[in-house]
Amino acid sequence: MTGGAGFIGSHLVDALLDEGREVVVIDDLTSGDARRLPTEARFEQVDITDRAALDRVVDEARPDAVFHLGAQSSVTVSVTDPQRDCAVNVGGTLNVLEAAGRHGAPVVFTSTGGALYGNAAPIPTREDRIPAPVSPYGASKWAGEAYIRTWAEAGGLPHAVCRLGNVYGPRQSPHGEAGVVAIFTYKLESGQAPQLYGHGRPTRDYVHVSDVVAALLLASGRAGVFNVATGVETPVSRIFELLREASGRQVEPVPAPLRVGELERSCLDPSRARDELGWTARIPLEDGVRSTYRALVSEFATAAGDG
């Protein structure tokens, strides 16, 4: 697995180990944290753009399946450094595909939903919508998808693409740009006023990390492109309200304009994943946000104690 020390990846590692699988994690720790990994998983600190190092680990592991979560996932970084974004999300994906192909291992590739479909897409958006990304990040993920699908056709392997909604849950870092639940929780817990970009009006499709992990497991060995989301459109202002209620703090947010490359609306149609994988998101937003708030507060306290 690539990106296994990340937020989503570490939860997937736990699930695979629970199934009795042997897990090898490849992560360069740009945004991952090796402390998230249980000792049962073998960890290799490798950049997926380093083909020789990647090949060494994969050929030694001889995997029967590959989950490819490693990525440059920051929209703003993709705008300021599109070359690096392309190198990781396109070149790195090609490296993973070729390494997996030598061992006949199907790949599950985690892509993006909103950043791929663009602002003009109908809501909720189906997988057959022609992508119109508004950021280099969206463009690089689309290119990565193209390699996944081409290599599936050429090699006869059932590679899958999972286009994720806005994933939230325990272990999410509050120091990035996309994890709004973690960011708001951190700000509220420290008594700071978070910024509401787009004045709180932008909408997203928020899906809990445990639901995402279930979808990724079901997608392994199944060819196709699948939206992994709830089909429910929620404004970011609602997320802030839920978290403020959970915190019991009377903090007012600071309205701010939408950042470059960010979408105004995003909501995905998950019916194909339901029909073909037998998957549906099970955790209601209100329950998931409240439980995530409690988990993150505990994590922040532990991190502060360790520091």
Name the active-site residue from 117, 137, 186, 197: 137
Give 119's DSSP letter: T
C-alpha pair distances (Å), 258 with each of 134, 181, 193, 197, 294: 13, 17, 17, 5, 28
Do the Cβ atoms of 273 and 215 come closer than 8 Å?
yes
* 203-204 and 234-235 strand pairing: antiparallel
C-alpha pair distances (Å), 22 with each of 14, 38, 63, 165, 278: 11, 12, 9, 28, 25
CB-facing half-sphere around the CA of 82: CA atoms within 13 A? 9
Q: What is the rounded distance in angstroms from the CA atom of residue 70 to the CA atom of residue 137?
A: 13
Is 137 a catalytic site residue? yes
> Could you tell me if residue 199 is left (phi over 0), alpha (psi between -120 and 50 degrees) or otherwise beta?
left
- Strand blocks (E) in 128-242: 160-164, 166-168, 195-197, 203-204, 206-208, 224-228, 234-235
Q: Which residues are catalytic?
A: 137
